[in-house]
Structure 1
């Protein structure tokens, strides 16, 4: 199902930390501590739209998205979970999973392009990465 020649788009590699690999997707944490923001990237070459996936890949993508969403909801207790596949800036297919709070700095507006990112401290980043990796791998790997 996964392509061994897969490479993460350079912009995602620059902006994110790797959480783990699921059967189909690579899970990333965006380096912006203002929002628990995870990105799901199917490890397939040359795919920019969900409709380009075959039926089995689409089913696996949505299953992994469901598990990621449940994990984010459990770990972060957001008021709302935003899930979106945009790709206007990065053509590689990826799905954003963003925990939102009524108290966050841009609520209820979208998070894109409003505020500059606030980088995670190493301690905060490591804690999130470990907790998310353990939980996701227990559920899917």
Structure 2
């Protein structure tokens, strides 16, 4: 979207994979969990209910699309979806693949340990697999 401004923390901590109809699909740079982030390309919003009804429907569709692809690629036990925004206020939705035995299972991913950056080749392989699954 023209004029859309991404929060600097989201830009710093994630990589743009593709722009969907409403959202930017981004990969969180933490290899401990397959972790995607959907950012609606709308400025000044912090809550899902701030979106228009049409954008809410599109966000739901894109979230389900991404969650399905992530489950297919990872074979995860559970896909966690959340829009917290306690630190980064810009509206964004986390889609995280969780599996028994992963870092901090079954606890939350937020605030646990220190992020571990992807190996560049490993990251490219994962990105390609996600994009193919979409």
Name the TM-score class by shorter chain: over 0.9
Once the two structures are TM-superposed, the CA of residue 8 in structure 1 deviates from its matched residue by 1.0
Q: What's 1:82 paired with?
A: 80
Q: Aligned residue for 1:72? A: 70
Rounded to whole Å, the distance in 2 between the matches of 1:23 and 1:67 is: 12
Q: After superposition, where does 1:1-141 map in structure 2 within 5 Å?
A: 3-136=1-134
Count of aligned pairs between the two proteins: 134
What is the TM-score with the length of structure 1 in the denominator? 0.92
- Give the whole-Å Cα distance in 2 for the aligned partners of 1:35 and 1:17: 15
Deviations along 1:66-85, one digit per CA (max 9) or x if unpaired, are 00010001000101111000
Structure 1 runs of 4+ with >2 Å offset:
133-136
Q: State the superposition RMSD in angstroms.
A: 0.9
CA distance in 2, matches of 1:133, 1:24: 17
TM-superposed deviation, 1:131: 2.1
Which sections of structure 2, spanning at least 5 residues, go unmatched? none
Q: Which structure 1 residue ranges, 5 or more long, are not aligned?
A: 137-141
TM-score (norm 2): 0.97
